[in-house]
Amino acid sequence: MTHALLPLLGSAFLLGALHGITPDEHTWPITISYAIGGASGRRGLQAGILFSAAFTLQRAFASELAYLALAPLLASGTFNAGVDLVVGLVMAVSGAYILRLGRELHLTEWLERLLHRGLHLQGGEAPYTELDTSNVGIPIRMTLVHGFVAGWGTGAFAIIIYTVLAPAMPNAALAFLPGLLFGLGTMLVQGLAGLLIGAWMHRRGFGEAVMNYVSREVSGRTLLGGGALFAAWGAVQLVAPTLAGPLDSGLPTGIGIPNLDTINAGLVLVVVIVAGIAVSSFVRAVRRARSVCPPECFPDGAVEA
């Protein structure tokens, strides 16, 4: 490897780190979901690293494909719409599975609860003894699937890798390196983010039973709701590309950083999923636990939601 390639590979690594920091519509919702679900710094770190490891493998492979003149396919609108649809479905299925770990999945449960509330029937809200507080670990290994599938989405950062850095490699044997370094940069940031988020969750002061319930509720609902939104957006792009095009392009912000340079559908999805679904699910789960759980469930004096 010549010294002339080092600046290119260093740029790929820095772009990957920046990609991990900025609100990407695929990385942040998934990492946050599993980091909160892990409910500890160690598990959060694992979630961030596992997701990014699969993402790194995918991005290295895609970098090789880009060198072989397949970059136009990777950047096509139809291809990316399909990625959004698949990512959304994987997220939604994972969220439903997490919410019903060890139990039969009732797809009509939401309708049953709505009817209970509307008709003022008993049983609309389960008593504390029925809260799912079982100590069943959320399957963080699923982040490997998420990372590989989500990596096929082609945003501004990926365009730089596929159209500038990968073609600059001297031969096909080295063409995977920009994608690899980009993924490692993302892994560094996402691993740290998972560590901090998981540690924050652990410090809430909940007892084990409440921790199990809250982490599963937030993780599952974020993946389920976020996945439904992604799948719907992917379907809109496939069915009505002329309508989706302006929403995908967005409005310029004047910030010269990819993922922050425009207010588009991707950024809106991140805000809705992270600030909307995740935060509201956390607040709702904690309030419900406080309203029905005895004080011994909060041995350390849990921090208010």
Is the residue at 120 inside a domain? no
Tell whether the model's pLDDT for residue 184 goes beyond 90.
yes
Per-residue pLDDT tens digits for 154-168: 778 888 999 999 999
Burial label for 74, CB within 10 Å (0-12, 13-18, 19+), is buried
Select the more confidently predicted residue: 68 or 104.
68
Is the residue at 159 inside a domain? yes
Instruction: Tell if the pTM clears 0.85, that is, is over it.
Output: no
Tell whether the model's pLDDT for residue 304 goes beyond 60.
no
Is the residue at 106 inside a domain? no
Per-residue pLDDT tens digits for 127-136: 444 555 565 5
- H helices of 175-252, in order, are 177-202, 208-239, 241-249
pLDDT score of 122 = 46
Tell whether the model's pLDDT for residue 221 goes beyond 50.
yes
Instruction: State which residues form the domain around 155.
Output: 7-101+137-297
Q: Which two tokens stand for residue 92?
A: 């939604």
> Rounded CA gap, 174 and 63, in Å?
10
Is the residue at 305 inside a domain? no
Domain count, the chain: 1
Mean pLDDT highest for which of 121-130, 172-181, 254-263?
172-181
Tell whether the model's pLDDT for residue 301 goes beyond 60.
no
Is the residue at 114 inside a domain? no
Is the residue at 234 inside a domain? yes
Q: How confident is the model at residue 124 (pLDDT cuts 50, 70, 90)?
A: very low
> What are the distances in angstroms from CA 239 to CA 72, 92, 218, 226?
21, 20, 31, 20
Least trusted range by pLDDT, from 1-10, 74-83, 86-95, 205-214: 205-214
Least trusted range by pLDDT, from 12-16, 88-92, 175-179: 88-92
> Rounded CA gap, 71 and 26, in Å?
20
Is the residue at 125 inside a domain? no
Is the residue at 126 inside a domain? no
Residue range 194-220: mean pLDDT, rounded: 80
Q: Which sign, positive or negative, has the C-alpha torsion 62, 66, 68, 74?
A: positive
> What are the distances in angstroms from CA 238 to CA 84, 137, 233, 265?
10, 36, 9, 15
22 touches 259 (CB < 8 A) = yes
